[in-house]
Amino acid sequence: MQTDRPVVYLALLHYPVYNKEREVVATAVTNLDLHDLARLAVTYGCRGFFVVTPLKLQTRLVERLLDHWRTGRGGEFNPSRKQAFLSTRVVATLDDAVAAVAGENGRVPRIVATTARTVAGAKSYAELRELMRSESGPWLVVFGTGWGLDDGFLEEVPEVVLEPIPGMDEYNHLSVRSATAIVLDRLLAPDRERR
């Protein structure tokens, strides 16, 4: 099925990701990650944004933030932020996100993962862009916090792993906020924008 506009969801994983010592951990949620990714998701027409954390306290923190912007004073102060957070959800695991997407679309999403590391068989942006235009999805594009997604996760879970965004002089240390912005623009910006 040809789709001009693929059905895409975002997920920001706080587990299983590496810390600086390359131990697999659950990271704390960063407030501005949520703001930036929620706004990016709406800008690029994504159907939803999942904040994925197994930590109960972090879940409650995210729920308070979402309440503030969706039903509380935040939304009165800044309606565009309210709009951004309307499609944001917090879930405990990526399976929960997959189940939610499946419930909304009648089929499970194809999972795309991003990494700053070189992975065998990784697809280029152009390849995935093309694929997203020719295959109906839904697609669930996954970003890791901390020092990036666990290698075991990358090997087992995603159907597609995207190539890293290489720096010009071997510098390869973007924030997840920057990486998400660049990846969504490369995959989803209208063709007229890319000329």
Residues of this chain that bind a second copy (CB under 8 A) = 5, 20, 32, 35-36, 39-40, 42-45, 77-78, 80-81, 83-84, 124-126, 165-169, 171-175, 177-182, 185-186, 188, 190, 193-195
For 28, residues 6+ apart whose C-beta sits below 8 A from its C-beta are 14, 58
39 vs 105 by CB, closer to a second copy: 39
156 vs 193 by CB, closer to a second copy: 193
CB of 145 to a second copy, least distance (A): 13
55 vs 174 by CB, closer to a second copy: 174
120 vs 168 by CB, closer to a second copy: 168
CB of 66 to a second copy, least distance (A): 17
